[in-house]
Amino acid sequence: MDRGELEQRELIDLLDYAWSDLKLDGSALTREGVASIIHGDLVRNVSIAESSEVRCHEKAMSAFRDLLYMQVDIDRASLQQIAGAWDDFFDVSFRRVSPVLPHFGFTPPYHGDIPKLLDDLFRYASRAYEAEDVVAKAARVHNGLVYIYPFAEHSEMIARAAMQYVLLRAGKPIVDLGLTEQGYNTMTADAIRGGDDGPLAGAIDLAVRKKEIAYGELSRPDPAYRL
């Protein structure tokens, strides 16, 4: 892969990650709007908060690269390093309260149990799934983190970041899950209540295959997939 193709992949990854993540949190920001923010263009009718969130996703991508360089698996320390990308946006220390989450329909576990629950989740994920089952591992890490809800707010965003990192660590691409906000919330709530990671794993698997096809387009002499 030449340098130009690598840079194009990195731009596409950032665009897919930031746009799909904001969409799942209810943002109306378009894909084109996110691309313009990434390129440093002035975008009309975009709030300062939305622009800041895109920059936070850029910082998260930088954290992914640092962790990948050090060959670090997802664990409590790497989770906090990833969450640090949002340290100017919200409190990324572990919560000391028990928030009610109406969009998921449950109350997370007692905050004093968070460190042990996280360690148990990451230990289980590392032991239970072989490298070829990385999609199932990514789904388990995401759903487990939403259940634990380690931060007072936006833990679902950090859970999705951890999911993306699990994929990257196994050599898979950053993905756009292709879900609406309502579809994502329903799927996540059902997984927490029923313990079934299958629907999310299916969405991740489909997204990975679509992204790998898009990557293949980049290698053609006249690539059709461009940021």
- The predicted pLDDT at position 80 comes to 94
pLDDT, one tens digit per residue, over 3-14 is: 767 788 888 899
Output the DSSP codes for 119-156.
Answer: HHHHHHHHHH--GGGHHHHHHHHHHHHHHH--BSS-HH
Cβ–Cβ < 8 Å for 121, 150: no
List the chain domain ranges: 3-218
- The predicted pLDDT at position 43 comes to 78
Residue 104 amino acid letter: F
Cβ–Cβ < 8 Å for 10, 62: no
State the angle between helix axes of 76-83 and 48-69 in degrees (0 to 180), rounded to the nearest 10: 150
Quote the radius of gyration of the chain (alpha carbons, Å).
17
pLDDT level of residue 23 (50, 70, 90 thresholds): very high
Mean pLDDT across the chain: 89
Of 49 and 78, the structure prediction assigns the larger pLDDT to 78
Task: Enter the tokens of residue 151.
Answer: 């931060």
Using alpha carbons, select from 213, 74, 83 the residue that is nearest to residue 144. 74
Task: Enter the tokens of residue 187.
Answer: 């799927």
- The predicted pLDDT at position 221 comes to 47
Phi, psi of 101 (to 5 degrees): -120, 85
Q: Which residue has the tokens 């196994």?
A: 170
- The predicted pLDDT at position 131 comes to 61
Region 63-78: mean pLDDT is 95
How far apart are the C-alpha atoms of 152 and 157, rounded to whole Å?
Answer: 12
- The predicted pLDDT at position 219 comes to 59
pLDDT, one tens digit per residue, over 176-209 is: 999 999 999 999 999 999 999 999 999 999 999 9
- The predicted pLDDT at position 91 comes to 84
How far apart are the C-alpha atoms of 204 and 202, rounded to whole Å?
Answer: 5
- The predicted pLDDT at position 223 comes to 41
CATH 3.40.50.300 holds for 3-218: no
Rounded to 5°, angle at Cα 181 from 77 and 54: 55
pLDDT, one tens digit per residue, over 121-176 is: 999 988 877 666 999 999 999 999 999 999 998 999 999 999 999 999 999 999 99
Q: 168: Cβ–Cβ under 8 A, 6 or more apart, which residues?
A: 64, 68, 174
Of 2 and 177, the structure prediction assigns the larger pLDDT to 177
- The predicted pLDDT at position 174 comes to 94
State the angle between helix axes of 155-169 and 198-218 in degrees (0 to 180), rounded to the nearest 10: 60
